[in-house]
Amino acid sequence: MKKSDFTITLLSKKTPTEIFHTILNVRAWWSGLYGEEFSGNSEKVDDVFTFKAGDGVHFSEQKLIELIPNRKIVWLVTESNLTFLENPQEWTGTKLMFEITPKEAHMEVKFTHQGLTTQSECYENCAPAWTQYMQTKLAPFISQ
């Protein structure tokens, strides 16, 4: 059975530059749902930021490892502690990837959490949370 990574796609009428800079500002869109806290930076290669949510239920540290201006952003999860999982470090070594590509009259923004598959313990909780962040937090920023 093939393991598929969690992926969600959004469409935008904004320019690739506007979308790119919005995504790099993680504090703007990856917040407002579960008492999130951030430290560090998220905009240049080798920048590292931490994300905490749910009164300590979720902690992760991300390092920006790939940046193709106006096209692609990849963060590597270098550390994780998801206390609600049997394996709290399940996210460690996974990647958070955004790809921005033209699609007819729109820009397509594809988010993939590489390593978060249907076989992952976290999938049942993490996939709906990612969907919520993408649809209710990121989408309004990039669809206007």
User: DSSP assignment of 43-72, as one string?
Assistant: SSTT-EEEEEETTTTEEEEEEEEEEETTTE
> What is the pLDDT at residue 52?
97
> What is the pLDDT at residue 2?
61
> What is the pLDDT at residue 119?
95
Residues 35 and 29 sit within 8 Å (Cβ to Cβ):
no
d(Cα 79, Cα 32) in Å, to the nearest integer?
22
What is the residue-level pLDDT of the chain in tens, covering all 144 positions? Answer: 567 999 999 999 999 999 999 999 999 999 999 999 999 999 999 999 999 999 999 999 999 999 999 999 999 999 999 999 999 999 999 999 999 999 988 999 999 999 999 999 999 999 999 999 999 999 999 986
Domain 5-143: CATH superfamily, name plus number: START domain (3.30.530.20)
Element (H, E) at 81: strand 72-82
> What is the pLDDT at residue 31?
95
Element (H, E) at 124: helix 123-132
